[in-house]
Amino acid sequence: MRKIFIDTNILLDVILRRADFYQQAATIWADCESRKVQGYVSAISLNNMHDIMRKMVTPDVALEYIRLVLNVFSIVPLDESILRLAVDLPQKDFEDAIQTFSAVQIKADCIVTRDKSHFSGNYMPVITPAEYADLLR
């Protein structure tokens, strides 16, 4: 089974039903839910999602979405080794560096994100939701 690491923006595209991105993100989510692929997210994604969602929905609804993510995806714990690797990565965004090394830690086949430019392709392929379908061929 393929292991895919899901960036936070893909999760939010589904939960917030972002019109331009929802359909492709929902396909990825469904494949993870049905175990067609094994979907992983970083522990920091849950915090980031909650922070964004609490401004848009009630705290209880935000927590229900977090529970949903916990039920569908495997969580990559944040630990010191990931943080040490991330802090030394010459990358603009520390959060994206954490995401990169979370994916490396679980030996993901790829990172799925809408923001490919935020990730170095030196560690594994970085693909968009539109490119995801090709992964399964």
For 3-60, the pLDDT digits (tens) are: 999 999 999 999 999 999 999 999 999 999 999 999 999 999 999 999 999 888 988 9
Please name the residues in contact with 52: beta carbons below 8 A apart, sequence gap of 6 or more: 12
Per-residue confidence (pLDDT) for residue 36, from 0 to 100 = 94
Instruction: Quote the tokens at residue 14.
Output: 């589904």
Structural domains in the chain? 3-132 (3.40.50.1010)
Tens of pLDDT, residues 100-126: 999 999 999 999 999 998 887 788 999
